[in-house]
Amino acid sequence: MSSVPSVRRRPARPLLAALTALLAAVALVAPPGPARAADPLLSQGRPTTASSTENAGTPASNATDGNAGTRWSSAFADPQWIQVDLGATATVSRVSLTWEGAYARAYQVQTSTDGTTWTTVFSTTNGDGGTDDLTVNGTGRYVRMYGTARATGYGYSLWEFQVYGSTGTGGGCDTATNAAQGRPATASSTENAGTPASAAVDGNPGTRWASAAADPQWLRIDLGSVRTVCRVVLSWEAAYARSYQIQTSTDGTTWTTVFGTTTGDGGTDPVTVNGTGRYLRVYGTARGTGYGYSLWEVTVNTTGGGTVPGGGPLGPNVITFDPSMSAASIQSQLDAVFRTQESNQFGTQRYALMFKPGDYSGINAQIGFYTSIMGLGRNPGDVRIHGDVTVDAGWFGGNATQNFWRSASNMRVYPSAGFTRWAVSQAAPFRRMDIQGDLNLAPNGYGWASGGYIADSRVTGVVQPYSQQQWYTRDSNVGGYLNAVWNVTNSGVVGAPATSFPNPPYTTLAQTPVSRDVPYLYVDGAGAYQVFVPSTRTNASGASWLGGSTPGTSIPLSQFYVAKPGDSAATINSALAQGLNLLFTPGVYAVDRTIAVNRPGTVVLGIGYPTLVPQNGVVPMTVADVDGVRLAGLLFDAGAVNSPVLLQVGPAGSSARHTADPTSVQDVFFRIGGAHAGKATTSLVVNTDDALIDHIWAWRGDHGTGIGWTVNTADTGLIVNGDNVTALGLFVEHYQKHEVIWNGENGRTIFFQNELPYDPPNAAAWTNGSRVGYAAFKVADTVTSFEGWGMGSYCYFNVDPTIAAYHSFEAPTRAGVRFHDLLTVSLGGNGSITHVINDTGATAQGTATVPVNVVSYP
């Protein structure tokens, strides 16, 4: 409420009562025990939720942000709760509650292993505010404060909610598991490129870290989560430490020494320690030789078992090819996958076809459903296909409008007939491809195709849309275009024709304002898997790799949890909480709780169309309001019980700025119905500022299993609440209300393709106030700045062709809200769209399927 100050103070108690309470507190508080001194803070920065919030400025996350000047406050009612997810089951020893003036008279502290069944570990009915520092004894992944009686007329309000404890089980020292192996390691220096810090934790006793020849030097290991360390084994090379310390830290900044010596003699040092921390450091202060410090291996043992391991095999549905293999052998495997996937539109099989660097001749890789073909080179020219990578539509009578869910990336193709055929519709990205010839986007026989996406690619010949209805290309190089049907949009494409919409219908932006390429797998010179994370580009033009390697950073696969079908969401969350990134291998994943991506810079990458199906109406994935998260290559498939959201980027009320390192959602697709009856109110909600949406297809199914107006229900495909959000390539179709709602300021959309829902039973069932139908793309009335280019919307009301939708685009009419090159189409005269945007534009109608165009608005 606007009349309530942002900080409220409770009235001062009488002096005598205050002194009495102070003396009682002094008399009763015992010196902190060993557990309190040793146990680390587990709750800071962890996902935090609450029963309610007073307003957007007092979210639950404020109570665990480590900032004593921000707070959570609830609605003015009883009961209320605030809950923190520690990421893994912990033994909780201490909870500290720092109350604002609106405190709890009666409350409980509770723990839970599943977030559903709770155990009370502390309870009081005479709380008096201030700071409650509680010694408790409980076990759980989730800890909550459950308030049952407020002390004031306001809600409950906490400056900080701190939980201390240990993730170890106390079950003895696990000397069989090396918690350091494969973990991120850094050092004060390295002797040369052949002796990196990572060599001391790679499990190979023949590789080593070596430092510069100076004192002091250190080697630091990130264990991924707070661990109780019980033993460290140092395997010294001849250049050993005379004096060194072993130190632990919870934050990588403040260090505690758990072992020290000034009489080191090299060899192998097995050291028993007792320390707690996420980070472990070997800190050398005096060398035993004239060289630097050198370690073959560092082994770290912890209490309660090892961490979730990173790296490992990619599973049976990832098929890897090597140039040493015969063309016949490769072709046989490609054909076997294609036979399975050619018409397998709603099946459960998923495949990734990966080619190691080198030359491959005489093959034709035909790509079916849920199949990704990719090169494993650092750049497209590292994998050279002298043959074909093909998508056609023979399975569907030459009609490519259902050629969904497939991809090609990171290879050079020398096509056998001078052109590559890529006849697709939605959700079929073509990234980092180098086509030495023409690119034909239509099926054999020139049947229909319904839109696609190219990024960071080169076509030395001509892009040939033929019957392709609409297309978006960004940050690429082409030899030209043959034609355009309804909407061909380019941004940052060297060789693209100038804007001439609507005749011919080209929309061209010389540069893409902000973009980045998708993370991708490659093999390094030693044959090990790495994930390359490309840098963000501003005002980009042309492919990122043509002037040299794409700028960015590499992350070894050992820093990824390699998820496989059957893995639980709890295991995946534990891996994320350790600090691992996440690689989903091909398959279908049942998600029974929210996968929470909370660490800045986390990469979540799918290969071969991994499909996440929420169970019992959960939200399958959320992303915190942090810098630089990369989500790519995922398919969210709504479950039988309605989920409120399938992917939420940033909690409600997110306000941090991420201009330098935005979070991105790339090649992420959503499906409601088709494979089974599914329900989800909204597919994607973006609350984070500065986010980048780079190619999504959000689809409420119009065919397949579980299809019907009251069966596969879904209101909206995309809601953008964040400011300064950029969308490149939006495909959103068939939702039952607004397909896209844009509430954020300073938004940009380059290319939008939409079909309104096919199946409203009649106009009355699809009425928004006094108007028939919902606009496909609605910019909120409060927005003062937005710009969109190349945006089309179509109708095909096959249940009731008499429906006349009022318009496809709705926006406030003001100078800062601008649209360029809009179109509407009635497909075969099945219904009509009266206006294009607001009350502007003629009616799209009639069997001729002719677009109605608006070149600029207002």
Query: In which element (H, E) is residue 520 found?
Result: strand 520-523
Q: How far is CA 442 from the centre of its chain?
A: 32
DSSP 3-state assignment of 131?
strand
| Total Cβ atoms within 10 A of residue 137 | 13
State the Cα–Cα distance between residues 632 and 646, nearest whole angstrom.
Answer: 15
8 Å CB contact between 531 and 710: no
Q: Count H helices, E strands: the chain?
A: 4, 59
Any residues with CB less than 8 A from the CB of 5 and at least 6 apart, and which? Answer: none
Strand partners for 92: 138, 165
Strand partners for 438: 419
DSSP 3-state assignment of 492?
strand
State the Cα–Cα distance between residues 375 and 410, nearest whole angstrom.
Answer: 5
The three-point CA angle 752-753-758 to 5° equals 140
State the Cα–Cα distance between residues 236 and 145, nearest whole angstrom.
Answer: 49
Q: Is the peptide bond between 502 and the residue preceding it cis, with omega within 30 degrees of 0?
A: yes
Torsion, Cα of 130, 136, 138, 141 (10° steps)? 30
Any residues with CB less than 8 A from the CB of 852 and at least 6 apart, and which? Answer: 823, 824, 825, 833, 836, 841, 842, 843, 844
Query: In which element (H, E) is residue 332 found?
Result: helix 327-341
State the Cα–Cα distance between residues 310 and 582, nearest whole angstrom.
Answer: 9
Tokens of 8: 């409220």
| DSSP assigned state of 163 | E
Torsion, Cα of 815, 817, 820, 821 (10° steps)? -120
State the Cα–Cα distance between residues 426 and 155, nearest whole angstrom.
Answer: 48
In angstroms, how far is the first alpha carbon of the chain from the final one? 36
DSSP 3-state assignment of 771?
strand
Residues known to be catalytic: 755
| Total Cβ atoms within 10 A of residue 188 | 18
| Total Cβ atoms within 10 A of residue 652 | 12
State the Cα–Cα distance between residues 28 and 31, nearest whole angstrom.
Answer: 10
Any residues with CB less than 8 A from the CB of 770 and at least 6 apart, and which? Answer: none
| DSSP assigned state of 195 | S
Edge-to-edge strand ranges of the sheet holding 621-623 = 595-597, 621-623, 643-649, 680-686, 716-720, 740-742, 777-779, 804-810, 832-837
Q: How far is CA 684 from the centre of its chain?
A: 12
The tokens 């942002």 sit on which residue?
Answer: 6
171: closest CA among 110, 225, 111, 91? 91
Cβ burial of 25 (10 Å; 0-12, 13-18, 19+) is exposed
Tokens of 732: 């959103």
CA 541, 547, 549, 551 dihedral sign is negative
State the Cα–Cα distance between residues 272 and 173, nearest whole angstrom.
Answer: 10
8 Å CB contact between 790 and 754: no
State the Cα–Cα distance between residues 407 and 675, nearest whole angstrom.
Answer: 20
Q: Is the peptide bond between 858 and the residue preceding it cis, with omega within 30 degrees of 0?
A: yes
State the Cα–Cα distance between residues 672 and 678, nearest whole angstrom.
Answer: 5
